[in-house]
Structure 1
């Protein structure tokens, strides 16, 4: 390594170390604070809890209905993720592997969907869901999530399917496989790294989605975690149970952290491969 390489490497490590501290310390403070009472939080915000117990988590889960919101979020995100991965993979496969009339136009329209600000579609989406009878319902939110994540999914998987060898597809045809069997049993398993990466990114995006549920899901019985957090924080001003609030924050972000920690290697190994073409 040259002197310049060493300097760049050292500066990069220092910057990454500072960034890690900026990210990790607030998360640790939130975790420790979630075990404190509201009195402790205001009396000594940076000290450790006087007593370690799960009362705040119990209150957040049952008293403030975060258990139901957690279940709603799991249902909406899991169903949306399955649908968007299935539809996105099928759409990307057809656009990448077949020269159909208008396929390029459809692909570019999908790319245009990535540049369209979501907040501009809120009013049309509101009236569309209202006319379909799906406003303030979990199925309506699932349908919206799928439409929201589909352009990114198609864009990302397009490169993976485009890079797969055509000889394998032709060999499947020669063996008598139908289009459906070729896709599900031959081509789809070969795109597994891309599917894993897109699934993780979609999960993170859908779990943290805030604008769509706030605008299209105003029934408190159907709340998801992101809008439940906002409603809880602004409900009573200084009378908020801050201990339960911090516990609710941990409940909200814990699944995201768990998913990322377990699948980060798959994500890091797939992003470069999927965007290299």
Structure 2
């Protein structure tokens, strides 16, 4: 009798936990196995020449992190507006793309765009100015931010702390697959792609499917246009796989995925019993 009760209790716990985990994770990912976010940095010509047409042809949507001062933004503003109208997110990648020039390997940083020489107030002001510009392009107020060069601090101070109410979330540059509860919305992990094969990217997607996690790709050049580049054919293979498995993979702009994660994290925190 005692053994029967123990078995019944064990089975209830086993199946109960299993059903909760399998119910909660897919719900966060729009009732699918995982979420994949395609992000493209720096507002370069290939975004509009190669990427947007490729995404549109498969009815997939991505996030384009625009540098406010980029001449490609000014010169091709109507095209960015049309991209936003088709569901792509125009994210904020700061006004001047400032990076910390005091760090190793930063010889490309100029004195005008050296984050280590910024004040926090200047960084915050420039990022908010870029939000104003983006709002004038797409008419939207909800969007995400991407740290230029992945730099989080100025003089030891995290400047994004003053911007949390301006954005839904911020994307970083650290590799990682994460469950909804593991995601830090102030610094979302992303896999930077520079020369990796289609097989490498597809393997990441399959791992995300198996682990029910968030996978964020960080691209610069696609078929050229930037020193950090992915082959056009490899990028196309990734998109085709995502489209072929869209019943299992939620592909959406960062802002939509982040909003879902934010709601899930808020729900989890409010449901915890008080001590």
Q: Which has the higher contact order (CA 8 A, sep 6+)?
A: 1
Structure whose CA Rg is larger: 1
TM range (shorter): under 0.3
- TM-score for the superposition, normalised by structure 1: 0.24
Return the TM-score normalized by structure 2.
Answer: 0.24
Which is helix-richer, 1 or 2?
1
